[in-house]
């Protein structure tokens, strides 16, 4: 069972995807997205994997089911990459050359 915060446990809507036990998840309806191309509201589903397969994943959709499916596809893609020896995701960090990196390659 995924890690679900108190404010979501009592929500009538509950996730249906097979999230791993080490993923923190939360969701909501009518989230505000501020964008240079135009602000909008959306249902959202957020994932915080603790196994290195992703740092923060957000899925959006017209419904919570759609938002969860969007987030699950992103998480599954990152997890498959991580498990096959690919990238270990972490928070953005500044490199010595001044550029930014959002992941590190597993040796």
> Alpha-carbon distance 44 to 62, whole Å?
9
Domain residue extents for the chain: 6-105
Cα within 13 Å of Cα(83), Cβ side: 6
- The mean of the pLDDT values for the chain is 84
Q: Give every CB contact of residue 49 below 8 A, 6+ residues apart in sequence.
A: 20, 22, 23, 24, 55, 57, 75, 78, 79, 89
**Model pTM score:** 0.75
pLDDT tens, residue by residue, 37-56: 999 999 999 999 887 777 78
Q: Is 100 helix (H, G, I), strand (E, B) or coil?
A: strand
Give pLDDT, residue 56. 85
Instruction: Average the pLDDT over 73-89 and give the result.
Output: 77
Give pLDDT, residue 107. 45
Tell me the percentage of the chain whose pLDDT exceeds 70: 83
> Alpha-carbon distance 87 to 69, whole Å?
22
pLDDT tens, residue by residue, 7-43: 999 989 999 999 988 899 999 999 999 989 999 999 9
């Amino acid at each position: 069972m995924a890690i679900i915060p108190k404010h979501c446990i009592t929500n009538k809507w509950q996730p249906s995807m097979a999230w791993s036990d080490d993923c923190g998840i939360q969701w909501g309806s009518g989230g505000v997205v501020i964008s240079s191309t135009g602000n909008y509201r959306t249902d959202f589903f957020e994932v915080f994997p603790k196994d290195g397969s992703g740092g923060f994943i957000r899925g959006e959709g017209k419904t919570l089911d759609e938002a969860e499916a969007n987030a699950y596809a992103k998480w599954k893609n990152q997890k498959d990459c991580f498990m096959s020896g690919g990238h270990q995701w972490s928070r953005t960090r500044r490199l010595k050359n001044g550029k930014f990196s959002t992941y590190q390659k597993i040796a």
